[in-house]
Amino acid sequence: MVLLVGVFALLERAGVRWAKHWPLLFLILAGFLFLRSDPETWPMGNVGFWDSFRDPEVVQHRTFVVLIVAFTIFEWGVRTGRWKNQALALVFPVLTTVGGDLLLTHNHAISNIKEQLLIELSHLFLAVLGVAAGAARWLQIRGTGRDARWAGWIWPTCFVLVGLLLLAYREA
C-alpha cells in the first residue's frame, strides 16, 4: 500500500487528476496493521481489547494506526479541496515526521540479537525516509519557487522507497 501511495502521489504530481485520492489507500494499510500487527490480540486473538494495552509493542502499533487514519483524513480533505485552511495541509507532514520519529523508538522483543538488530536497522531506514518525506512535504507547502517544486517530487519518492523496503521487510 505504501508503494502504491507513493506511485499515485507521483502520478498526481505529474497531472493525473484522479490520483488525488491516493490518501485513501492509507485506510487499507491502517486496517491491515490493525488486524495483523498483533494477531494474538483483539480482534483476531485471545487477548482482550483493554488487556492488550499492557504490551508496549501493541500500544505502539495501535498508535501508528491512529496516526495513519488521522493523516489520511486530513490529507484527503486537503487534496480534494474539502478543507481550504492552509494549517490543515500541515497535518500530513507533521504526522509523517512524528511517525518516522516514533519508528526510531519502536523495538521488538526478540531473543535472537542478530534478528533484533536487523529489524531495528530496517526501522532506521524507514524512519529516516519518513522524516525526509514529512520535511519535503512541509517544504512543498510552505516553500516557494524551485524548492517547493522539487520537494513536491521528493516526498512521494520517499514513500515509493519505503514501499520497496517494506516489500522485502521480514521480522523473523
User: What are the boundaries of each domain within the chain?
Assistant: 2-167
pLDDT at 85: 87
Compute the C-alpha angle 47/48/51, nearest 5°.
90
pLDDT at 84: 84
What DSSP line would sit under 29-45, residue for residue?
HHHHHHHHSSTTBTTTS
pLDDT at 86: 84
Q: Which of 157, 161, 165, 137 is nearest to 149 (CA)?
A: 137
Taking CA atoms, 44 is separated from 52, 56, 79, in Å, by: 12, 18, 34
Q: Render each residue's pLDDT in the chain as its tens digit; 172 residues.
A: 999 999 999 999 999 999 999 999 999 999 999 998 898 998 889 999 999 999 988 998 898 899 889 889 999 999 999 988 888 999 999 999 998 988 887 665 666 666 666 666 778 899 999 999 999 999 999 999 999 999 999 999 999 999 999 998 776 5
pLDDT at 123: 81
Query: What span, in angstroms and rounded, lies between the C-alpha atoms of 131 and 97?
Result: 4
pLDDT at 29: 93
pLDDT at 83: 87
pLDDT at 104: 81
What DSSP line would sit under 93-136, residue for residue?
HHHHHHHHHHHHH-----S-HHHHHHHHHHHHHHHHHHHHHHHH
